[in-house]
Structure 1
Amino acid sequence: MERPGPETWASWTPLGPAPGSAHARPPGPGEADFWTRMERRGPEEVVVAGVPVRAGSRVRLRPAAGRADMLDLLLDGRTAVVESIEQDDGGAFHLAVIVDDDPGRDLGEARMPGHRFFYTAEEVEPLDPDTGPGRVRILVAGLGNIFLGDDGFGVEVVRRLAGTELPAGVDVTDFGIRGMDLVYALQRDYDLAILVDAAPRGEPPGTLTVLEADTPDSAASLGAATVETHGMDPVRVLRLAGELGRVPGRVIVVCCEPATVLTGGADEDVLVELSEPVRAAAGQAARLVMDMIAESAGPGSRPRSTE
């Protein structure tokens, strides 16, 4: 590689003398060196979505999509306690948080290198004071391919549930064929996961079956999971989630017997509607899931009825 000549160096903009050099000037009035500024205490509180957040406040982590890495995906949706509020040299505020279920959260100063996570104010959701660790968190996940006829059953059920008034702590999500997204979602701090899917079990079309998975202890003993980015069935999803780490303490699968079973082969036509018996079962399944939510979330949590 050719070394830069004097004309190259002359074209660069000097940033000033290095700290400690003979020509470095001391900080002027009102100025401070970098390390002095970094040692300053941050503000006592910041306001997030109109809610004051300070040390001890509980928040839900929502990392920005543009910066999210693997760790951010695993922490997305987790609840945490704000330990301190820091301000960087550019004036931006960062919340140092401790994740609720982090086994190293009680190590005191020893946990600082690896058990404190920093989020901007825009990357957290303030939680109500009564939204503590005792609040039941529930994930309702709709699975299926809407272009394969009755395989879109789970998607239709969560579509109906999305129009209901659900208790705090209940998340209803259409995962479609995004199996890996569901795997990551199961790593969050949910107490109960309700998976809704179509599954041929030899029953009359439209028959609903409720199954409860043996989790989390047996999830790792189900065998190694084959990773597929699309089309993972609930069993494979639970296997992979168990291999990665955390699985909700209770997992229920609500499945419906399809009338039409398409595989997506080249010789099959796209079918974007449910058969009559499966469409009727979607309403029943939505009401069944609401009953499960009410039973798990406790008194006064029953949502209004759906279509």
Structure 2
Amino acid sequence: MSERTPDGASTPRTRTVTVDGVVLRRGSRVRLRPSRSADIFDLALAGRNAEVDTVEEDFEGRIHVAVVLQGDPGRDFGVSGQIGHRFFFSPEEVEPAGTQPESGPGRPRVLVAGIGNVFLADDAFGPEVIAALRHRPLPDGVHVADFGIRGMDLAYRLLEGYDAALLVDAAPRGHRPGTVSVIEPEIAELDGAPEAHAMDPVKVLALARRLGDGPLPRILIVGCEPLVRMNGDEPDVVFGLSAPVQQAVGEAVRMVETLVGEVLDGASAAARATREGEEVSPR
């Protein structure tokens, strides 16, 4: 998968650059130190902590480090490739900061994606759970993002090499309102018509299958039974979750943390087994 550089060149997302002896790649943590000749907008970011989104090379061979700011409420738009929340610096204008993620293709990665419309009462369950997770410590390799109703963004994100994706959503299944459950859909059996501008999980997964040329990650849906169900045709918007669904947010957060741990442990064990098999296999 590729995306455009500041000058329009298409380049792989797996590029790296070494700064102060540290290899920076997607997910690396950096501190910004713009040069004195930078414009006023870049200078205003001096000292801010950020995360590397991509390392890119333009047509003239110059390297650019595209970053998203830590603490930026719109950072997920930047990670989705939208220029408004990504900032470009030269390698000389960033310095490694904090503990860096492990390198190598065997490092497991998990996406936790909130789904829902904050204007439709209990449909905001997914975004509320993501907001709560942002205050919790999560292992390296776990990316938490509120996708709202951006179905196309989520479909493309599912193609970025994650081992698993946890989709958090309001999911009516006929249970008592506030009931949290885990659903693992059969990807091979998905037959929903793909839609670019919808946030029905089945249709998003169908769109991702249509867009990609390989298997999707393991998908788990953490769903909550809503009390107030809206379809968007109502004359008024409704902010806030109903009482039973609000109470379920904490339970969903704990469930996500448990599932993340299980996925990471399983992926790490599988990677170790693969490496050991490769080491002992005859030439």
Q: TM-score, normalised by structure 1?
A: 0.57
Contact 2:26–2:53 (CA under 8 A) maintained in structure 1: yes
Match in the other structure for 1:130:
102
Aligned-residue offset at 1:52: 3.9
**Long gaps (5+) in structure 1:** 1-44, 63-75, 96-118, 302-307
Compute the displacement of 1:227 (Å). 1.7
Q: Who is 1:178 aligned against? A: 150
SS in structure 2 of the partner of residue 141 of structure 1: strand
Report the identity percentage. Answer: 47
Q: Kindly indicate whether the alpha-carbon contact (under 8 Å) linking 1:77 and 1:189 is maintained by their aligned counterparts in 2.
A: no
> Residue 146 of structure 1 contacts residue 152 of structure 1 at CA under 8 Å; is this kept in 2?
yes
On the 8 A contact 1:141/1:175 being kept in 2, the answer is yes
Distance 1:193-1:255 versus aligned 2 partners, 3 A rule: same
**Equivalent position amino acid for 1:278 in 2:** V
Q: 1:298 aligns with which of 261, 265, 272?
A: 265
Cα gap change, 1:128/1:223 in structure 2, threshold over 3 Å: closer, same or farther? same
Amino acid at match of 2:152: M
Structure 1 Cα separation of the partners of residues 244 and 168 of structure 2: 16
Pairwise CA RMSD of aligned residues?
Answer: 3.7
1:265 is aligned to 2:237: no
Any idea what the Cα deviations from partners look like across 1:226-250, whole Å, max 9, x if unmatched?
Answer: 3242x32111111110111145431
1:168–1:263 distance in 2 versus 1, CA, 3 Å: same
Q: Cα–Cα, structure 1 residues 128 and 209, in superposed 2: closer, same or farther, change >3 Å?
A: same
Does the 8 Å contact 2:161/2:217 carry over to 1? no
Structure 1 segment 1-307 matched on structure 2, within 5 A: 47-48=18-19, 52-53=22-23, 59-60=25-26, 92-93=62-63, 128=100, 130-215=102-187, 218=188, 222-223=190-191, 225-229=193-197, 231-245=198-212, 246-267=214-235, 269-298=236-265
Amino acid at match of 2:131: R
Taking structure 1 as reference, are residues 121 and 138 closer, same or farther at Cα in structure 2, changes over 3 Å only? farther
CA drift at 1:209: 1.6
Q: Amino acid of the residue matched to residue 25 of structure 2?
A: V
Deviation at 1:88, TM superposition (A): 7.2
2:49 maps to which residue? none
- Between 1:127-136 and 1:276-285, the stretch displaced more is 127-136
Task: Look up the match of 2:37.
Answer: none
Q: Which runs of 5+ in 2 are unaligned?
A: 1-15, 29-51, 66-87, 269-283
Write the deviation string for residues 185-210 of structure 1: whole angstroms up to 9, x where unpaired.
00101001000000111111001121
Cα distance change on mapping 1:272 and 1:199 into 2, 3 Å: same
**Aligned partner of 2:264: which letter?**
A
Partner of 1:33: none
Looking at structure 1, the residues matched to 111 and 255 of structure 2 have their Cα atoms a distance apart, in angstroms, of 15
Residue type of the alignment partner of 1:255? G
Tell me by how many angstroms 1:120 deviates: 8.3
TM-score (norm 2): 0.61
Is the Cα contact below 8 Å between 1:193 and 1:248 reproduced in 2?
no
